[in-house]
Structure 1
Amino acid sequence: MKRLIYDTIAAISTPIGTGAIGSVRVSGNKVKKIIDNTLKPKNYESKRMYYGWLYDENKKIDEITWVYHKGPNSYTGEDMLEIFCHGGKLITLNVLKTILKNGARQALPGEFSKRAVLNGKMDLIKAEAINNLIKSETEIALKVSLNQLSNSLSKKIIEIKNELLKIAAEIEVEMDYPEDVELTTRNLNEKLKEILKNMENILQESDNGIIAIEGLKTVIVGKPNSGKSTLLNALLRKDRAIVTDIPGTTRDTIEENLNINGIFIRLIDTAGIRHTKDKLEKIGIERTISSMKQADLILFVVDGTTPFDDSDNLIYNYVKNLKDKNVIIVLNKNDSSDFNENNYFKNIQDENYEVISVSAKNCKIKSLEDKIFEMYFEKLNIEEPTLTTQRQKNALESAKEYVISAIDSINKGFTNDVVMIDIRKSIEKIYELTGENYTDELLNTIFSNFCVGK
C-alpha cells in the first residue's frame, strides 16, 4: 500500500490521573521540528532513550525521558516521538499542550493504529486484536486476543488471498491466450474446494471467538414477578435493578457486564412478557423479544411457587420458536415452602433444555453459574487464532459465498470468464477483511472504538 503523508498528531497514551509515569505519543512529519524546539538536543539517534527537560520556549515544563523512532521503523510507519514524564493529570496535560503548541494536533481515538494500517505496518485484523487486548475483561478474552495478535491468522488469510489471486491470474492468461493455455475444470474445481475448506476451518470457531471478546449475550426473560431483576442483582452481587411486588416494574432492558469464572457475560434484564394494554409495557415487551432474538443464551425464569400459567406458556412458545439458542430454565424461589417443581417438568419435557433450581432472593445461584461455565468454558477456551468481530466474520463469509458460487458455475458448465466474476468478488471481500480495500466510513467505525493514544 502506498504510504500517505499526514499532519502531526499527539495524545496522552497513559490513563489520566495520579501515577508514577505519564506518556505522550507524537507521530507525523513535524516530529523532528518538535524535538528541536522542545527538547533542544545536541544530537540524537533513533531507538535510543534520552534524558533531559521539556521546554516551552525557554521555560522548563518537566524533567523527562524520550525516544525518537525514525519512520518507517515505528508503530505508525511515520516519524514518532514518545515522551515519558512524571505522572499526574496536570503535568501530563502540560506536556501535551507544549507539543500541540509546537505544531501537532490532538489525535482522534485510534488514530495512531489507523495510520499504522494505512501505512502498511499492520492489517485490520491485527489492529482489532490490539484493541481487544487492551479491552480484555477476562483471561479467556486476553488469550484469544493474544492468539490473534500473533499474526498466524493473518497469514492464513493471506494464503487464501494468494491462492485466489493465482487462480485469477491463470484464468486471465487463459482468456488472453486461449490457444496456448487451457485450464481443466477438474483442476480449477479442486483448487477452489481447497480454498473453501480453509475458509470454513477459520469460520468454524468464529462465533465462539466473537463471544469470547464481545461477551456472551445473555437475556433474562420471564413473566412479571418471576424474579428476573432479583436474579440480575444476585448475579451482579449488587442492587442494580429495582425489585418490587408490583407486576410490570421493569419497563425497559437493563444491561450489565459480569465475569463468571473467566467467561465475560453481557447480561440483559428485560421487561416481563404478558398480555397487557399498557403502551409503555408493550414497548418493553417488544424490546424483550428483540433481545431474545439477538441473544446467545436465554435464561427463562419461572416462579416455582405459582402454577405454570398462560404468561409462562406465552414466553415458552417464544423461546421454542427461536432455533439454535442455548436456553436454561431457571426455577426460582426454591427457598419458599410453596416451591414445587413438578408442574414445570410436565410443561417442558418436550425440549432438551437445562433446568436449574435457585433462590435469587437469597443469592443461592451457584448451580446456575456452574452450569453457564460448564456450557461455555471449553467452547471459548480457544487454542487456535480465530476471528473475533462480526465484521471479520461477515467479510470472510461473503468471500466464502463467492467461492461457492464459482464452484457452482464450474459444475454448471459456465465459461471461466463467468467464474472469474465470483473470484474477483471473493478477493475484494478478503481485501475488506484485511484492510487492503477500505472506505473512510469503515475505518472511522473501527477506530472510533479505540482509546485515544493508541
Structure 2
Amino acid sequence: MTAALLTPPGAAAIAVVRIHGSGVGPFLAAHFSGRARIGRAVHGQLSDGNKVIDDPVVVLVDSCTADLNVHGGPWVVRATLDLLGRCGFAVESLATGAAQQASPAGGQAAAIHLAETSDALSREVLAALPHARTELAVRVVLAQPAAWEALLRSPPGREVIEALLADRTMQRILLTPTVAIVGPANVGKSTLANRLFGRQRSITADLPGTTRDWVGELANLEGVAVMLVDTPGIRRSDDVIEQTAIANAKDRVSTADAVVVVLDGARPFDDEQADVLRHHRGAIVAVNKSDVAPAWDVKLLGTDALPIAARTGTGIDRLTRAILVRLGCLDLRIDSPRCWTPRQREILHAIG
C-alpha cells in the first residue's frame, strides 16, 4: 500500500495525498467520517483515534485509490502522513522523493505512478487544486472530471458551448480576484470590511483618517475567496502620511476586479461623497448606516444603490451577491463543467 503527497511541501491552501492499495477501504472506514463514493467529492472528518486531524474532501478514484484533499498547513499534512504510515502505507513525497518507510510497490516509482492520471483533465484538476482556497472551490474543481464526462457523452448545442467558453468562474476561484472598498473618510468602510472578513481586521473609530493604509486580506464570500482591500478614507488633509496612503491605495483600486463605493446615508450628501461617486462610475454602490434616520433618499442614486448597515449586518447578503455577480461567480453549481485551460477551450471549439 502506498501514499503520495501530490502537492509541493510547505504551507498551502490545500494539500493532496493520494493513497493506493487494498487497505484504502478499511482505512477510510476507520478514520474518515464520510462515506466515500467513487467519482464523488465527499466531505467529512479525518480522525486519529479521538483526535480530529482535519475535515478533508475525499475522492474515491476507484476501489483501491483515493485522494485526501486536506488543508495545507504543515501540521495537518504531517499528522495525515504519520497516520497513514502507522496504518501500513508507504509514505512518499513526490516533491522530495524521500521515502519515509520501505515500499513494497517500488518506492519513488510507485509514487510517481500514483501521480500519473488517466487523462489530461485529471492532470489539470490536480494542478488546479492547490489554488482552490475554499471548500466550495475544491468541490467545484474535483467535480470537473465527472462534469466533463457527462458533457462529452451528450454534447450540447452551440449556445451552451458559447456560454461555457465565456464562463470565467474557474479563473476567478483559482486566481483570487481583488475587491476594493473605497469611500470618503468615516463612512464605515472598515466596519464593512470587518463584516465581510468575518472578524475584526481593520481598526474602526469615529475619527476620520483612522485607516492610514490599505489593508488586504482574503475573505470568503459564499465560497469564493477574494482579496478584500480596505482603503483609507478619501478626503482633503494636510497630513502627508495620510495623503501618501490615499495615493498608494488608488493604485490598488485601479487594478481591482470589483470596486465597492461606500457612502454615508446618515449625513448630508455632500461634495466629498459626490466626488467619490463620480470618480468610480460603474462601481457597486453601498449606502451605509441604513439602521439610523436617513439624511437623504438613497433612491436619488438609482435602483442599483444598496442600503446596508455594516454595524448590524443588514443588507450584507445583497451586497455580497452583487459582488459575486460583478465577478461572474454567482453560479457555482458543483456539477457544471468549467473551462480554464487552452486545451479545454480547443475541445469546446471542436464540439461547437
Partner residue of 1:373?
Answer: 321
Give 2:313's match in structure 1, choosing from 364, 378, 395.
364
CA distance, structure 2, for counterparts of residue 384 and residue 25 of structure 1: 25
CA distance, structure 2, for counterparts of residue 264 and residue 11 of structure 1: 24
How big is the shift at 1:378?
4.4
CA distance, structure 2, for counterparts of residue 331 and residue 142 of structure 1: 34
Partner residue of 1:313?
Answer: 274
1:165-314 paired onto structure 2 within 5 Å: 200-205=162-167, 207-215=168-176, 217-276=178-237, 278-314=239-275
1:12 touches 1:92 (CA, 8 Å); kept in 2? no
Specify whether residues 245 and 92 from structure 1 end up closer, same or farther in structure 2 by C-alpha distance, changes over 3 A only.
farther
What TM-score do you get using the length of structure 1 for normalisation? Answer: 0.45
User: Does residue 142 in structure 1 map to residue 153 in structure 2?
Assistant: no
2:6 touches 2:115 (CA, 8 Å); kept in 1? no
1:41-440 paired onto structure 2 within 5 Å: 84-86=84-86, 99=99, 123=120, 126-133=122-129, 136-138=132-134, 140-150=136-146, 152=148, 200-205=162-167, 207-215=168-176, 217-276=178-237, 278-320=239-281, 327-337=283-293, 339-342=294-297, 344-346=298-300, 348-349=301-302, 354-361=304-311, 363-365=312-314, 367-373=315-321, 376=325, 378-381=330-333, 383-388=335-340, 392=341
Give the letter aligned to residue 240 of structure 1.
R
1:250 touches 1:272 (CA, 8 Å); kept in 2? yes
CA distance, structure 1, for counterparts of residue 220 and residue 237 of structure 2: 35
Specify whether residues 122 and 294 from structure 1 end up closer, same or farther in structure 2 by C-alpha distance, changes over 3 A only.
farther
CA distance, structure 2, for counterparts of residue 293 and residue 380 of structure 1: 27
Specify whether residues 289 and 98 from structure 1 end up closer, same or farther in structure 2 by C-alpha distance, changes over 3 A only.
closer
CA distance, structure 1, for counterparts of residue 97 and residue 145 of structure 2: 33
Specify whether residues 142 and 275 from structure 1 end up closer, same or farther in structure 2 by C-alpha distance, changes over 3 A only.
same
1:209 touches 1:382 (CA, 8 Å); kept in 2? no
CA distance, structure 1, for counterparts of residue 279 and residue 296 of structure 2: 21
CA distance, structure 2, for counterparts of residue 208 and residue 12 of structure 1: 25
How many pairs were matched up? 269
RMSD over aligned Cα atoms:
5.1
CA distance, structure 2, for counterparts of residue 233 and residue 198 of structure 1: 39
Give the letter aligned to residue 341 of structure 1.
W
SS in 2 for 1:369: helix
Higher RCO (Cα < 8 Å, 6 or more apart)? 1
Specify whether residues 286 and 11 from structure 1 end up closer, same or farther in structure 2 by C-alpha distance, changes over 3 A only.
same
SS in 2 for 1:302: strand
Specify whether residues 335 and 143 from structure 1 end up closer, same or farther in structure 2 by C-alpha distance, changes over 3 A only.
same
1:211 touches 1:380 (CA, 8 Å); kept in 2? no
SS in 2 for 1:379: coil
How big is the shift at 1:268?
1.8
2:218 touches 2:225 (CA, 8 Å); kept in 1? yes
1:331 touches 1:341 (CA, 8 Å); kept in 2? no
How big is the shift at 1:141?
1.8
CA distance, structure 2, for counterparts of residue 97 and residue 202 of structure 1: 39
What TM-score do you get using the length of structure 2 for normalisation? Answer: 0.56
2:268 touches 2:296 (CA, 8 Å); kept in 1? no
Q: Which runs of 5+ in 2 are unaligned?
A: 11-15, 25-64, 67-80, 103-110
2:147 touches 2:336 (CA, 8 Å); kept in 1? no
Runs of 4+ off more than 6 Å: 10-16, 23-26, 196-199
